[in-house]
Chains A and B, each alone.
Chain A
Amino acid sequence: MKATIFDIERNSYVDGPGIRTTVFFKGCNLRCVWCHNPESQSPKPQMMFYKNKCTGCGKCKERCPNNLEKCGLCGKCTLYCPHDAREICGKEYTVDEVIREILKDKAFYDNSDGGVTFSGGECMLQIDFLEEILKECKKNGIHTAVDTAGYVQFEYFERILRFTDLFLYDIKCFDSEKHKQYTGVGNESILENLKRLLTTKKSVWIRIPIIPMVNDTEEELQKIKSFLEACQSPKKIELLPYHAMGEHKYEAIGKEVQMFAVPSEEKMMRLKKIFS
């Protein structure tokens, strides 16, 4: 069994408690217009080309079996580009390969109450693999977190509940129409899944990306707050400010980027107060 993964990031401080390794699965069923990992959306490996790094030296073309006209993802061009202008995003991994990477930092997890976080993309879309790897992690005594947008059937949650210590659950915006406008899908099932997940008494951290002009109003966040209060309260609510660091990656995969303003620190402080 294999999964397509586009990054395994060790020593992550931002995806749950303690020191963690975050495994980024490739493929997502949402299309959030602010997504900072646009390369995570397609489920398949893909070539990324950073035009601004390219000097036109032609080393890639020399090595490409198809003269750069068609990409078979062989990766030769990436190995010989002296300027890191080309890379292949996404690689297939077996459960064993991923576990080996994860275990390298076990001592760090153990000492910091950290662990591993499966993220994406939407890691739940590769549920068979996810279930297996979570089991393996638990066998090795590693704390597990699943970072999800929740747009899957609830049965998927049920399959992994036993092996997951923490869910990082995104709420993008409360109004379903707006949700659809900015992510491509309505949020009814997302909120329903969250409600059901919270009744399981599993630890859940809610993560809300703050996107100016989309969901950065007190009114919007109040609605989310009321919804959460009506459910079993989650353990923690994190507001994550929009950042523009994914911009260059849109160009690299040949997609149009939509830019937003970065919320000010004062605004973030004000919005955080709503939940404190």
Chain B
Amino acid sequence: MSTHDPGGIGAGGEHGDEHLASSGRADSSRADLYMPGAVLEEPAIVDVADVRPELANPELVDAMVAPDRTVHAKVGEPLLQMQNVTVQFGGLVALDDVSFDIRRGEILGLIGPNGAGKTTAFNAMTGVYRPTKGQVVFDGSTVGKLKRYRITQRGIARTFQNIRLFNEMTALENVVVGSDARHRTSVPGALFRTPRHRREERDAIDRALALLEFVGVGGRATEKARNLSYGDQRRLEIARALATEPKLLCLDEPAAGFNPAEKESLMDLIRHIRDDGYTVLLIEHDMRLVRGVTDRIVVLEFGRVIADGTPDEVTSDPKVIAAYLGVPDSELTADEGGTGADRAAGPTTEGGSGDASA
């Protein structure tokens, strides 16, 4: 795995172009890739580092982005524990007695074929679904019946598989909405603009700008979210999630629709986030990306955990190979490929496939 140069993290816009170019259809259909029939125009680009000179220093940006809240779990100890979690939708068992840990300071990959229960597990952690049985313990206490915004305030932040930004807000405002989760003042403070409220607002904006620089969309801070390129929108989602000062950052297929070069720079960003002190849970289809970036992988199939270990252990596990990566033709028996082979995205064949879901 070649390491990208550090500039690549910031080059969100550039990769947008590469994405088009590398998909090999740039000339024929570039206009309708994002917005059919849209008139191409000059976007407003603002140089954040000139407006806020301190943000030109990447170390300072890292320091501003870094989590500063107390986490009870020590580095390496379980931060989130899935304890025998079962999630049922009527008769459908989406998660069946699933147990695994996310340890503080690691990047955990959660993989599995389509319909394996990855997103359900994710939703159970972030409070979208309540477990039918079992419990989710986060940083020493159960997530249980907390309201969803409370769970975010407790320190679990997520991005969405299908991007869900606030489209009519600017990139900066989107991120500040995330920081608002940490605000202490509410309507009375805002109504009369108390000193504390003003301090919080100022801090939120400064941190949001640092976050935008951190993920590499600082130049688009004042652009409406819907006008950002696909890649930048994904990065903006990560920035917005980080703005809530999470202890655990959950990324739901952040590389969906990315080309290999964009994936590469996303991997750098994810590593950078981990190195900055966050714990990351990564749900992803792309084995190359998962193997390249994660410290540990949990494999789900049909709602059960079938493997849990380092990337090398997991990818050499015969059960995983059979279930997820597909059975080689030579070993194929009477069942004509089965479900696994349909979705085979083997590490060697993956690169060219470039995700049709884009």
* A and B physically associate: no
